[in-house]
Chain A
Amino acid sequence: MQKTIITVVGKDAVGIIAKVCTYLSNNQCNIEDISQTITGGFFNMMLIADISASTKRFSEIRHELHQIGDEIGVTIHVQREEIFDKMHRL
């Protein structure tokens, strides 16, 4: 299991979730949790995905999601889960 945290931040627009989720589905990444808020027209989403079944490496997924973010005008970060786990859990 390789859990990955994907965050999307940017101006709200139609189809942001669809774009990201389609990419993940096409690359065999299973979405385990998804939450989002919109504050002041700004879109914040966090998504926990298991990428262990994907044929692509972590760095490729990160790179391609960055590109998708650029295309739709939002910032997408892809990080391994441990940094959050270590920081916020004993």
Chain B
Amino acid sequence: MINISEVFETNKMIEKENFDVRTITMGISLLDCISDDSATLREKVRERILMRAERLVAVGNEIGEDYGIPIVNKRISLTPAALVTASSAKSEEDLVLYAKMLDDCAREVGVNFIGGFTALVSKGMTPADELMIRSIPEALSVTDRVCSSVNLASTKQGINMDAVRLMGTVIKETALKTADRDGLGCAKLVVFCNAPDDNPFMAGAFHGVTEADTVINVGVSGPGVVKAVLEDCRDDDFETLCETIKKTAFKITRVGQLVAREASVRLGYPFGIVDLSLAPTPAVGDSVADILREIGVDEAGAPGTTAALALLNDQVKKGGLMASSFVGGLSGAFIPVSEDQGMIEAVERGALTLEKLEAMTCVCSVGLDMIAIPGNTTAETISGIIADEMALGMINQKTTAARLIPAPGKDVGDRVMFGGLLGHAPVMAVNSFGCDRFIRRGGRIPAPVHSFKN
């Protein structure tokens, strides 16, 4: 039988260490809503979302209350919009109307983000893909809850450099269209290499075409819990350190698995995956950078940081894998800047640079995330940063991503404020040497040799 110390250990994690279930994300397939008429499509998609997700928020809250654990976000991921709108959208306006309809649906069912304004173009772009991508700046400027993602590369297919070039421009335009909010639109736009079909975390969540009709995916969190247990093994060796992280990740993930199973039963849709990411928030004590400091570097970004992050990421996976039958999504440690108080401090103290963050993305689960850069950074330079990040993912057979915010009118030393979960960020310096000729070449970077495993 459960004893008093175990009960208080769990409740301490929840009350004092910010342990929560970060998101229950309902993935909904829209493939059978496809129509050749834009208005009909919007109506069918609207009906589908409202019907499937009607009880999502209420059930999420109910589970949270039953177990006494906060379920912070309830979200929806959808089949990539570029596929769904391919036969109906004739203009960017059609896509903007589609995005507005998604925004209205999100508001109606009470979810704070809805993902799937997405195009998958790792090898090539159809005219529909390109139209959707070009509509992103306007779509994100007139909506609040819609999240957009574009998969630009994969280990199997290489890097679509035409799309990388286009995204440099799209990101710039998105920032300009939301200049009054520090370029907030870019906080809801992410580009990927090897994007997972079942990621529950925003901004990159979409419901891949390999998925079932409707599924429940859950993203757990808990950087504060890991940090707290590491305080007790400050002087221990790496074996003890790794063992401690692994055990904690196991405990955290078991709760995610419980919530996912329960949500699946109560909502009547199958359970998909648990994503065992350590996802920080701007709240004090909910920081991945704090874990790195606890492991032993003075600041995130100091020498040793990449190794510390590598071991953290690996132990989280090892502990989590045993706790859930189906692990998926991004699963690892997230290192966003604006959403992590410790990362923000590291940047402000000069410990953390864009180049170090790029190195860190080689060993963690996502990529250059929520990074504000000067507003005068050229589209080509943004594409160059994206290309580097895509190359890391492609060669290392992992997911990488970039969510960059070229903050309009801001420069190094300034800060951008998004508020809420998206936090605030100091504007980081970007290498001032150009890469225009590289980006303008056009075409694709071929898939790497180790992709040929057949």
Contact = CB atoms under 8 A, between A and B. Distances in A.
Nearest to A35: B4
Interface size class of A (residues with CB under 8 A): 20 to 34
A40 B12 CA distance: 18
A81 B7 CA distance: 9
B2 A81 contact: yes
Contact of A77 (B2, B11, B254): B11
Interface stretch (B40-48, B62-70, B80-88): B62-70
A88 B9 CA distance: 10
Contact of B67 (A33, A37, A59, A83): A83
B430 interface: no
A82 B24 CA distance: 18
Interface residues of B, number: 20
B73 interface: no
B166 to A, nearest CB: 46
B258 interface: yes
Given A84-B10, A86-B258, A87-B255, A58 B2 contact: no
A87 B9 CA distance: 10
A79 B8 contact: no
A88 B251 contact: yes
B3 interface: yes
Contacts of B2: 5, 48, 81, 84-85, 88-89
B180 interface: no
B8 A82 contact: no
Contacts of B69: 83
Given A83-B67, A88-B2, A46 B8 contact: yes
7 contacts: A48-B1, A59-B65, A82-B258, A83-B68, A84-B10, A86-B254, A86-B255
Given A48-B1, A84-B2, 14 more contacts: A7-B11, A46-B4, A46-B7, A78-B68, A79-B66, A79-B68, A80-B67, A81-B2, A83-B10, A83-B68, A84-B6, A87-B6, A87-B255, A88-B251
